[in-house]
Amino acid sequence: MRYIKDDLKDKIILITGGAGFIGSNLAFYFQNNHPDAKVVVLDSFRSGEKLSNGNLKSFGHFKNLIGFNGEIISGDINDKGLLSDLRANYKFDYIFHEAAISDTTALEQDLMIKTNVNAYKDLLELAIRHNANMIYASSAAAYGNASSPQKVGCEAPQNVYGFSKLSMDNLSYEYMKKSNISIVGLRYFNVYGKNEYFKNTTASMVLQFAHQILAGKNPRLFEDSDKILRDFIYIEDIIQANVKAMQPKKSGIYNVGTGKARSFQDIVDILQKALGTSLTCEYIPNPFIGSYQFHTEADISTTKEALGYEPAYEMEDGIKAYVSEIKRVYEEEVK
């Protein structure tokens, strides 16, 4: 589905983090709907390098880009030489900035700020030099334990990842005042959908529960999971928001969710219905009480107004659209 009328003929689009979950979906959106645009994917791709928590530093994976026929660059956004080359050798019209250290449990504060904040400033300077509109991934993690519905301006980050995203937003406000380009930050809530598998343990609970069920294992939930509510959003609505952010009514920071909170119990129940199973749920104590968001719900009123965004997928719709891909990934990557 096309989300803007323009054909984008001869426009050059840069997608950082383009081999990751959301970046790769954006790359294929433009390839399928705007084939006359030139899409350049930049990603550091995965290596064996890990963070101190044992998780991979980079989740970018070539399999997310199989079938993509645009240009692919392997590189790190912290590399000023690379950014200098991009500035000199291209003339971007739009920059979608999805690259980040996105692990909310990462402890490396220095790397988080360097990658998520300092490198973003360099990319903003590139965008201004090229007169390119900037659309970047912010996060609901900026809200921390703020009460629902979460509204821009009520932030209280509880980890360095959320702090880094809020810092990006604050930097964006400064650049909005002094530049003529459009700058839009999108605060993603709990995203699920195609190409998230290679996020490993940080993939959505939709995928993790589904693979437990397909393996014949009883789904394991925290106690009182029917009372733990999050705003879960299907990848197609994330893509919609990104594309519509190319032509916003005004620059700003906007929530991207459904505006409805659903429980982890809902996920399992909908999955079991979609997969035709009736496994017994197992409930375990929640070890994260005190450092866990028990209710997130995006206030999307300004997103609708500024971007023309309207979520199209309830959780039932999103899981129904996703289930065939869940099964494919299980057969090809998990079994």
Give percent above pLDDT 70 in the chain: 99
Quick check: is 3 in a domain?
A: no
Burial 196-211 (b: 16+ CB within 10 A, else e): bbbbeebbbbbbbbbb
- Residues marked active site are found at 161, 199
Residue 148: domain span: 12-334
Domain containing 135 — which CATH number? Answer: 3.40.50.720
Quick check: is 6 in a domain?
A: no
Model pLDDT for residues 180-192, shown as the tens digit of each residue = 999 999 999 999 9
Model pLDDT for residues 90-100, shown as the tens digit of each residue = 999 999 999 99
Q: For the chain, give percent helix, strand, coil, nearest 5.
A: 40, 15, 40
Model pLDDT for residues 24-35, shown as the tens digit of each residue = 999 999 999 999
pLDDT-derived band of residue 105, with 50, 70 and 90 as boundaries? confident
Given this model, what pLDDT does residue 78 score?
97
Given this model, what pLDDT does residue 331 score?
97
Residue 289 has pLDDT above 80, yes or no: no
The average pLDDT across 113-134 equals 98
Quick check: is 24 in a domain?
A: yes
Residue 188's DSSP bridge partners are: 139, 256
Quick check: is 4 in a domain?
A: no
pLDDT-derived band of residue 292, with 50, 70 and 90 as boundaries? low
Quick check: is 5 in a domain?
A: no
Count of structural domains, the chain: 1
Model pLDDT for residues 151-190, shown as the tens digit of each residue = 999 999 999 999 999 999 999 999 999 999 999 999 999 9
Quick check: is 140 in a domain?
A: yes
Is omega for the bond preceding 149 within 30 degrees of 0, making it cis? yes
Structure tokens at 222: 């925290």
Residue 83 near residue 126 (C-beta atoms within 8 A): yes
